[in-house]
Amino acid sequence: MKLLEDRIKAEGKIYPGNIVKVDGFVNHRIDVKLLKEIGKEFYRLFADSGVNKIVTIEASGIAFACATAMELGCDVVFAKKSGHKNVGDDVYTEKVISFTKGREYDIVISKDYLSKEDKVLIIDDFLADGNAAKGLIGIVEASGADVVGIGIVIEKGFQPGGALLRGIGIRVESLAIIDSIDGNTITFR
């Protein structure tokens, strides 16, 4: 998605350790015009896939999941990170290792909101090692629902998540794939 790649080139901030910060338009301040276009692009990619539910994970995935759901006309369920009193006990749960936080946490979705009839599109802002995505796939499959595909705003192509997920037959559509960061130069796939 050229609009997104251009924005990453213009405003992404590069830090040591192959970190690209896009908090100016993706995961702290959200550019709502770009958000709408991202929703439309995921709609274009998945409109014919029979999706009836979008699953994401709090917090940064929620905006993109909702923008996509508005186009597809379906509901969103967002996985919560552990420590929520008000989810109840009847949940699907998986353990996830966070790349940015450097620790392990549980993610949960209430069993009330996934069923074996669901055709689920997973949406998230970033794909790096694929840990959050694997956790969400585990939860969706535990419910008996189908994972139709995964829509990612920015994939870090030099980390193993994308290859790993595609390798097990999951359809992964990333709107921008960063293949390398060399000094101040970002190269897209």
Binding part of the chain for a second copy, among 16-24, 43-51, 143-151, 170-178 by CB under 8 A, reads 16-24
Task: Tell whether residue 129 is a contact of a second copy (CB under 8 A).
Answer: no
Identity of residue 60: S
| The binder of a second copy chosen from 21, 95, 166, 189 (CB under 8 A) | 21
Identity of residue 145: A
Identity of residue 118: D
58 or 166, CB closer to a second copy? 58
Task: Tell whether residue 122 is a contact of a second copy (CB under 8 A).
Answer: no
Task: Tell whether residue 115 is a contact of a second copy (CB under 8 A).
Answer: no
Shortest CA distance to 46 belongs to which of 63, 68, 64, 75?
68
Beta pairing partners, 146: 119
36 or 166, CB closer to a second copy? 36
Long-range contacts formed by 85-93: CB under 8 A, 24+ apart: 92/139, 92/142, 92/143, 93/139
Binding part of the chain for a second copy, among 43-51, 77-85, 161-169, 177-185 by CB under 8 A, reads 77-85
Q: How far is the CB of 25 from a second copy (least distance, A)?
A: 8
Burial degree of 122 (CB within 10 A; 0-12, 13-18, 19+): buried
User: How does DSSP assign 33-74, residue by residue?
Assistant: HHHHHHHHHHHHHHTTTT--EEEEETTTHHHHHHHHHHHHT-
Task: Tell whether residue 47 is a contact of a second copy (CB under 8 A).
Answer: no
Q: How far is the CB of 159 from a second copy (least distance, A)?
A: 15
Can you give the binding site for a second copy, defined by CB under 8 A?
19, 21, 23-24, 28-33, 35-36, 58-60, 62-63, 66-67, 69-70, 73-78, 80, 83-87, 100-102, 109-110, 112-113
